[in-house]
Amino acid sequence: MASSSHRRPRPERRTRRVPVVTVVAVAAVALVVSLVVAFRPDGGAETGADGGARTVEPAAGSGVSGSPTATGATGSPSPKPKPSTASPSATAGRTSAPAATPAGKSGSSSGRPAAPAARTASGTAPSAGRIAPGTAYRGVATSYDVGNGDGACSYGPTSDVMTAAMNTADYETSKACGAYVLVRAGSGASITVRITNECPAPCEAGQLDLSRQAFAKLAPLSAGRIPVTWSLLSPATSDTVSIRYKTGSTQYWCGIQAIGHRNPLARLEVRTSAGWTRLARTDYNYFLSEQGTGCGGALRLTDIYGERLTVEGIAVRANVVQSTGVQFARH
């Protein structure tokens, strides 16, 4: 016989009647609760499988700005835009090497602050390229034998030995050609050189490869490599700008070069029936008109400060240096 402690008497089954009024009251309460949940101020946040609230994203065009880590359509964080490593006039489709480090700044020069905009005659200065006026850069100086003085800038032989080759990064497809640079050594000695050549790798960003004569004014040639700071100059000069058409130029195709400009040249344009047309610049420092557009017509030169010089009457005479009689203002 089972123990009374393990057996409980089976309860008597009784039918219990629930008043109709009670059922109606319970249903009404449930309806009110449902309405309160549906219309609460948080907009009805949905609950996910883990019991947490799932935020409802605003519809497109709602005017709500997304944060840098806004959730994309797939639910994963959208990638942050990569910082640009191009110069004010960076070349599309290729990654640039770091620019020269401004003196007094530490860390990577790719994060250096942009130089303040210069006052210009035209009101809006074109991109100065990687080398901005009014900025001192830190780098190293080495030396090389300049030979007859010709170089990548295609200026031709010269007796001027106070010249330098700019590293490829800061040469920037010949934008540095013709620039006057003040170079200072740690000893306090300084020189002014003109950029006439390019120094390829292993020359690094910020490096200047000086003529041996120029280097010797800063340190003994035996030093080989010295730290320097350098900056652009807008020197006093009695020279005026000259124009040279490349060998082989005609009215159907031409290459145009500006020589003797006081300030670095930002662009060269030719006048056409549709207005001024900007020509593409080569790494050997000529501006090309592949279809002959504007060859032999009016030219417009713009320096990095935004000043424009319009030149008329320069005929297509291949490999002949023709004076314009004009010059950019000193800064």
- Quick one: average pLDDT of 166-190? 97
- DSSP codes of every residue in 207-231: -EEEEHHHHTTTS-GGG--EEEEEE
- Mean pLDDT of the residues in the chain: 74
Longest dimension (CA), the chain: 130
Residue 60 predicted with pLDDT over 60: no
The CA R_g of the chain, rounded to the nearest whole Å, is 37
Is 3 exposed, middle or buried, given 0-12, 13-18 or 19+ CB atoms closer than 10 A? Answer: exposed
Residue 122 predicted with pLDDT over 90: no
Residue 100 predicted with pLDDT over 90: no
Block residue for tokens 């001192």? 136
Q: 129 falls in which pLDDT band (50, 70, 90)?
A: confident
Record the tokens describing residue 117, joined without a space: 């905009």
- Quick one: average pLDDT of 153-168? 97
Model-level pTM greater than 0.85? no
Q: 179 falls in which pLDDT band (50, 70, 90)?
A: very high
| Better-predicted residue by pLDDT, 38 or 128 | 128
Q: 140 falls in which pLDDT band (50, 70, 90)?
A: very high
Q: What is the pLDDT of residues 257-298, one digit of tens each?
A: 999 999 999 999 999 999 999 999 999 999 999 999 999 999
Record the tokens describing residue 317, joined without a space: 């005479």
- Quick one: average pLDDT of 16-40? 47
